[in-house]
Each structure stands twice: as structure tokens, then as C-alpha cells.
Amino acid sequence: MKEKIFWVGIVIIVISWVGNYLYFQSKQLEQPIFLDHYYETYLQDDNYLTFYYLTNKQDPSQVSYALIDGLEAYPLSNEGVWHWQPNTPTFEQEFSHQYLKSVRLQLPKYDLPIEEGSDDVWTFEEVTFTFSNGEMVTTDIGNVNVYGRLPNSDVFENRVSSSSNQHRSDDSMVTVKPVIVEAITIPFSEEISQDVLVKVNTDQEKLKELEAINQGGNPPDWFEEERDLDWEKVSGVSIDEDIFPFELKKDDWLTLSMKFNPNRKSYFEFGVEINGKTAEGEPFMQKAFIIDHPYFTQQAVNEIIAEKAGGAGNE
């Protein structure tokens, strides 16, 4: 009788182990999953681009290099980066069965199909990543625009910029000459228009109070208060309204308030475009640069895996 109970116990243990193993295997990714990125960069910059991906916790491999339109791009070396525990993995976020990791690539500036200082744009949406274990992953990474030069506009001077971990950003600037603003637009609008909201504010009496910040003083009370307001109550008019064109005199203020969908699953590093012409009829284009990254929950990771890998996600 005791021997029978013993073997029943063994069978239960084996079944439990097999069940746990099968469950664990069902939550493993077949290959790393790269997320969506909407980036703009310029050849005058350092030309580093950071891409984020999900990978199994049991997978210690790292990106060795990437192939972009036939050009090789290599990660920024981690040599010299000190870790408290050298053998522990580095990651952005940790989840039940996966890590969110990142790789920072340096573009081969002198091999790119555009020239520095030109008006050319190089765009790519697909990258092949080769990992240290030999695995190759060809994947969509969103959309990246590389420009030959920075927008060269002397129409606005940036005065006050702020951002928060609530996925809000503000950029206030002053005109150095009279202008007509004809459009304010978001890049990659077909893909992300529902994830970016922009308001424009030209209330001169109110905005000129911001000059106190540049003089070393305290910001006006409303400046801090607006950061905590619901979006509907934030000053300004949506750029989707019929507000263009509008005129600004010399030394007039303009503020762009931006709100980014906190539940989205993509990375933003680009500029909101301000287009128009001066009083002399010269066209101009200036950008309000923003960086906004998502913070994921386990539920969001489940949804990403279900969408990009066709899996049921991880509890």
C-alpha cells in the first residue's frame, strides 16, 4: 500500500513538472520582438538610434550588428560601463517571462545615401538584427527619417520648454520678425495621428509672463497649474481646428502644448513642424522637438506579443 502511494506521488510530481514545463515553454518567444519607433534624426547629430525589443529572460544574447538597406550599423560599445553585478542582465523593464531591452546603434554616417547639408531624406522601416548567438531577425521597426541637415530657421527663438512623466510637453518661443503661420503638423501622421494631440496658444498677455523665467524669476502660477489640468482645460486651440493661417508680430509668443497617448506601444523622437512665411514672403520651417517613450504594464506586453507574434501573451 505504501509503495502504491509512493508511486502515485511520483506520477503526480512528474505530471506537475511536465505541466509547468509546457506552460513555461508556451510563454517563450520564438524570436525577439522589436517595437515600433517613430524617429527623426539629422546628420549634424551624433546619429545614434535606440531600438527597443522584448526577449526571453533565458536568452542572454545581444545584438551584434544591424543591416539597414544593405548598410551595417553597430551598437554603441558597453565597455567601460560599470555594473554592480557584472553577470546580471541589463534591461529597461522586467516582466513575467521577458525583458524589455534596448540597443543603441550608430549609423554609418559617411556611407548613408544622403549628403550632410543637403535637403535629402533617407527613410527606412525594416532592419535585420544579428544577435551574438547567430540568430537573425528581420523586422519592421516603425519609421525612421534621416535628414541631411537641421531645419535652418531664424524666425523663432526658443524660450521655455518643459515635459513630464505624464506624457505632456510644452514648447514656448518668441518671434524675431513678423510671420504668418500657415500650418502646424505632426510627422508620421498616418501612423500616429491618434496618439499625438497638439494645441497652439497665442494669448500674448498671458504668455509674456513667461519672460520672468528667462530673467531668473519664478514662473507664473498658471504655468505649474496647467501641467496638472485635464487636456480639455489646457489653454490653446487644437491644430485640427480651422485656425490657419494666423499672423504674429515681432516679439510675439507662441506656445505648443502636446499630449501623447500614455497607452500607446511606440517610441517617439521627432519634431512638430511649424510652417509659414515671413512678412517678406520667405518660407520657413521650424520644429519643436519632443522625446516621449511608453512605460509598459504586463497587460501591454501581453497585447504586444499577441499582435506581433500571434501568441496569447504571458500572465
- Given a contact cutoff of 8 angstroms between Cβ atoms, the answer to whether 127 and 68 are in contact is yes
Radius of gyration of the chain (CA): 25
Taking 50 as the threshold, does the pLDDT of residue 20 lie above it?
no
User: What mean pLDDT do residues 73-83 have?
Assistant: 66
- Nearest-angstrom CA–CA distance, 194 and 37: 15
The pLDDT of residue 21? 39
Taking the C-alpha atoms of 274, 190, 301 and 83 in order, what is their torsion angle to the nearest 10 degrees? -40
**Beta bridge partners of residue 142, listed in sequence order:** 37
- Nearest-angstrom CA–CA distance, 162 and 170: 5
Other CB atoms within a 10 A radius of the CB of residue 121 amount to 11
- Given a contact cutoff of 8 angstroms between Cβ atoms, the answer to whether 65 and 130 are in contact is yes
Return the residue matching grid coordinates 543603441.
104
Task: Band the pLDDT of 228: cuts 50, 70, 90.
Answer: confident
The pLDDT of residue 312? 47
Per-residue pLDDT tens over the stretch 278-287: 999 999 999 9
Per-residue pLDDT tens over the stretch 187-216: 999 999 999 999 999 999 999 998 887 777
More reliable by pLDDT, 154 or 107: 107
Positive or negative CA dihedral for 273, 257, 294, 309? negative
Task: Band the pLDDT of 17: cuts 50, 70, 90.
Answer: very low
Taking 70 as the threshold, does the pLDDT of residue 13 lie above it?
no
In a 3-state reduction of DSSP, which class is residue 53?
strand
Domains defined along the chain, listed by start: 33-149 (2.60.40), 156-292 (2.60.40)
User: Residues, the chain, total?
Assistant: 315
**Beta bridge partners of residue 160, listed in sequence order:** 172
Of the ranges 76-90, 155-169, 251-265, the best mean pLDDT one: 251-265
Q: What percentage of the chain has pLDDT greater than the value 90?
A: 70
More reliable by pLDDT, 211 or 14: 211
User: What mean pLDDT do residues 1-13 have?
Assistant: 60
Return the residue matching grid coordinates 500571434.
310
In a 3-state reduction of DSSP, which class is residue 230?
coil
The pLDDT of residue 283? 94
- Given a contact cutoff of 8 angstroms between Cβ atoms, the answer to whether 278 and 176 are in contact is no
The pLDDT of residue 76? 87
- Nearest-angstrom CA–CA distance, 90 and 96: 16
User: What mean pLDDT do residues 249-265 have?
Assistant: 96
Per-residue pLDDT tens over the stretch 95-148: 999 999 999 999 998 899 999 889 899 999 999 999 999 999 999 999 999 999
In terms of Cα–Cα distance, which of 51, 18, 96 is closest to 311? Answer: 96
User: What mean pLDDT do residues 65-77 have?
Assistant: 93
